[in-house]
Structure 1
Amino acid sequence: MFEGFTSHTVAVGNDIEIAAVAGGSGPPLLLLHGYPETRACWRRIAPALAERFTVVAADLRGYGASSKPPGGGGHAAYSKRAMAADQVALMRALGHERFRLAGHDRGGRVAHRAALDHPEAVERLAVLDICPTATMYAATDKAFATAYYHWFFLIQPADLPERMIVNNTHDYIRRTIASWCKTEGAFDEAILRHYVEAFFDPAAIHAACEDYRAAASIDLIHDAESDAAGARIAAPLLALWGSRGVVGRQFDVLATWREKSAASVTGHAVDCGHFLPEEAPEATLKALLDFF
C-alpha cells in the first residue's frame, strides 16, 4: 500500500512502540488515521504527498501495529495527551523536530492536542471530519446521539463493549465502515479485510474503547484546563469535512475551530461521507497540498 516507503517501529517511552511508514523528501508531514482504521487510510494520497513532503503515516497507540497497553482505571493511557506525545516522540526519533500534521477522525483529536501541548512542533494543522471533542459532547441531543451512537456505546464500562465486539468483529467493523461511507467503491475487499483483521486482537478492541472512554473523561478535563489557561492553537488550521457526512450538518465546523484557534482557520466541505482520504482522495489531496 505504501510502495517505496520504509517501515519503522519506534520506542517512544513507557514501553510504547509506534509503527509507521515513511517516504518522500521535503518538509516533514505526519498523517494520523481514525477509527476503525490504521495508517492504511492514507494509502491513496500518501505517495502523491511524498512527491513534495517527507511523509510519515503512523498507527496511533492502540491501533494497527502500534503498542496496545491496558487502559488503566482513569483511561490516562489513551488520553489524547499521551497519544499526541507518542507522535511527537516518533517524529523527533525520525529527525523531525517541527512538522506539518494532518489527522482524520481520532487522529484529528490527537492532532488537536498535539498542537496545544507541542506548539513548537506543529507548524501547520489539518483536521478531517471533526469538530473539537468538548464542543461536540456539549451539543449532544437526540440527533447527535443517534448519529454518533458509537461514542456512547464504546465508553460503557469494560468489558461490555469489548465482549460485544469481540463476538462479532467481522460484521461490526464492516457495518461501521459501510454506515459512515457515502461513496460506492471506496473500500475494496482487501482493505476491508485489513481493517477487520486489525481488530481480531482483543487488545485492539479494548484499546479503541479506551480511546473513546478517555475522550469522555480525562480528555475533557485536559480541554477544560487548556481553555481556562487561555491556550489556543497557534498553528494555521485547515478543517475539511464530508458534505454527505454528519459533522457538517450538525455543526458550523469552521466556527467551532475558530473558537479554539489563535491563528487563521480555513476549510470547506468535500463531496463524500466520513472517510475523506478514501472516498475523495483527489479532492483531499488537492486541499492538503494547497494548505501545506
Structure 2
Amino acid sequence: MFEGFDTRHVSTGSAEIHCRIGGGGPPLLLLHGYPQTHALWHKVAPMLAERFTVVASDLRGYGDSERVVSDARHFAYSKRVMALDQVNLMTALGYSRFAVAGHDRGARVAHRMALDHRERVSRLALLDIVPTYDAFAATDTFMATAYFHWFFLIQPFDFPERMIGNDPELFLRQCLSRWSGSMGAFAPEAIAEYLRCFQDPAVIHASCEDYRAAASVDLEHDAADRDRRIDCPLLVLWGKQGVVHKAFDPLKVWRDRAVSVEGRPLPCGHFLPEEAPEKTAGDLLEFFTR
C-alpha cells in the first residue's frame, strides 16, 4: 500500500503524528475514521496524488501516531485538540493553506478544523457524517441501534477497553462488516494494518477517549458554535446504503452549517474510500481542482 509515498513521524508540539506523503501539487490532507488508520485511503490516495501533494495521517491515538495521556474531561481527545495536531502537522511540513478530506472521526476533526482554523482550510470534503451535535440530538431507536458503539465506547474507563481487548479482532471485523456493503471491499493488507494497530490496548483506550470527548467536551464546543458556519466550499459525500442516508438529509443538515455546500450519495456503505474508491476519488478530484 502507498507505493511511492514517504513515511514520516512529525513532532507537532502537541503530539507526534505519523503520516504518508506522496504526489505533487497543492497540499491535500486526508483524515481517517474509526476503527481504522490512514490506510483507509490506500485505494484513493494514489489517484489524488496525480494532482496533489497528498498527506494521509493517523489521528492522535490511532495507527502509529502518539497515544496521548488523557484527562478527566477527555479534552486531550477533543476534536479541537485533534484538529490542532493536524494543523501543526501541515505547518511543520511547510503548508500554510491546504485542502482537507475527512471520513468518519476524521471528518469530525476536519469540521472542527474548518471552524477553528478557517484561514488554513481552502476546501473541505466530509465523508459520511452529519455534525456530532445533530447526530446526538436526532438519536432514536434506529440511531441508537445503528450507532451502538457511540454509547458503548463512552462508558467509564475501563469497561469498554476490557470488553474490546478480550477479542479486538472480533470487534474490528464486526464494525467493518456492520457498516459496509460488503467485507470484500477491504483489502487483506488493509485489514491486517487495522488489526495490527487495534490490538494495542493503548489504541483501544485512545479511541474510547475520542468517543468520550465527542459526548462531552465536543458537544460543549459545538453548542457554543451553533451559529458559526463553515465559510470555505464544502463537499459532502455519503453512502447510499448507510445510516447517514437512512436517517438524515445530509445536504439539508450541512446547509445549515456551511455557506456553500454540494454533494451526493455514492452506491456503497459507510467506507466510501474502500467500497467506492473510483467514484470517491473522482468526486474529490473534481471538487478540489476547481
Q: Distance in 1 between matches of 2:187 and 2:283?
A: 24
Which residue does 2:30 correspond to in 1? 31
Which residue does 2:13 correspond to in 1? 13
Which residue does 2:171 correspond to in 1? 172
Q: Distance in 2 between matches of 1:111 and 1:160?
A: 29
The Cα of 1:188 is off from its aligned counterpart by: 3.0
Q: Distance in 2 between matches of 1:291 and 1:207?
A: 33
Counterparts of residues 185-204 of structure 1 (less than 5 Å)? 185-204=184-203
Q: Distance in 2 between matches of 1:98 and 1:79?
A: 22
Amino acid at match of 1:11: S
Number of residue pairs matched? 288
User: Unpaired segments of 5 or more residues in structure 2?
Assistant: none
The alignment partner of 1:52 has SS state of coil
Given that residues 115 and 228 in structure 2 are in contact (C-alpha distance below 8 angstroms), is that contact kept between their aligned partners in structure 1? yes
Amino acid at match of 2:281: L
Moved more, 238-247 or 188-197: 188-197
Amino acid at match of 1:283: K
The Cα of 1:47 is off from its aligned counterpart by: 0.7
The Cα of 1:189 is off from its aligned counterpart by: 2.6
The Cα of 1:184 is off from its aligned counterpart by: 4.9
Which residue does 1:59 correspond to in 2? 58
1:254-287 deviation per Cα after TM superposition (whole angstroms, max 9, x unaligned) = 11111111x2100000000000000000010111
The Cα of 1:148 is off from its aligned counterpart by: 0.4
Q: Distance in 2 between matches of 1:70 and 1:176?
A: 25
1:42-70 deviation per Cα after TM superposition (whole angstroms, max 9, x unaligned) = 00010110110010000000100000112
% same residue: 59
The Cα of 1:183 is off from its aligned counterpart by: 3.1
Amino acid at match of 2:246: R
The alignment partner of 1:207 has SS state of helix
Q: Distance in 2 between matches of 1:40 and 1:204?
A: 15
Aligned mate of 1:284, from 253, 269, 280: 280
Q: Distance in 2 between matches of 1:170 and 1:251?
A: 31
The alignment partner of 1:174 has SS state of helix
Q: Distance in 2 between matches of 1:8 and 1:117?
A: 25
Which residue does 2:128 correspond to in 1? 129
Structure 1 runs (4+) deviating above 3 angstroms are none
The alignment partner of 1:100 has SS state of strand
Q: Distance in 1 between matches of 2:23 and 2:190?
A: 23
1:218-269 deviation per Cα after TM superposition (whole angstroms, max 9, x unaligned) = 0000111112xx32111110000000111111001011111111x2100000
Which residue does 2:239 correspond to in 1? 242
Counterparts of residues 210-249 of structure 1 (less than 5 Å)? 210-227=209-226, 230-249=227-246
Which residue does 2:140 correspond to in 1? 141
Q: Distance in 1 between matches of 2:96 and 2:139?
A: 38
TM-score (norm 1): 0.97
Given that residues 176 and 183 in structure 2 are in contact (C-alpha distance below 8 angstroms), is that contact kept between their aligned partners in structure 1? no
Aligned mate of 1:258, from 246, 255, 260: 255
Moved more, 182-191 or 276-285: 182-191
Q: Distance in 1 between matches of 2:219 and 2:183?
A: 36
User: Unpaired segments of 5 or more residues in structure 1?
Assistant: none
Query: Is the counterpart of residue 106 in structure 1 residue 102 in structure 2?
Result: no
Amino acid at match of 1:5: F
The Cα of 1:13 is off from its aligned counterpart by: 1.3
Q: Distance in 2 between matches of 1:253 and 1:267?
A: 9
Q: Distance in 2 between matches of 1:87 and 1:186?
A: 28
1:155-197 deviation per Cα after TM superposition (whole angstroms, max 9, x unaligned) = 0011000000001111110111111110352113322121111
The alignment partner of 1:158 has SS state of coil
TM-score (norm 2): 0.98
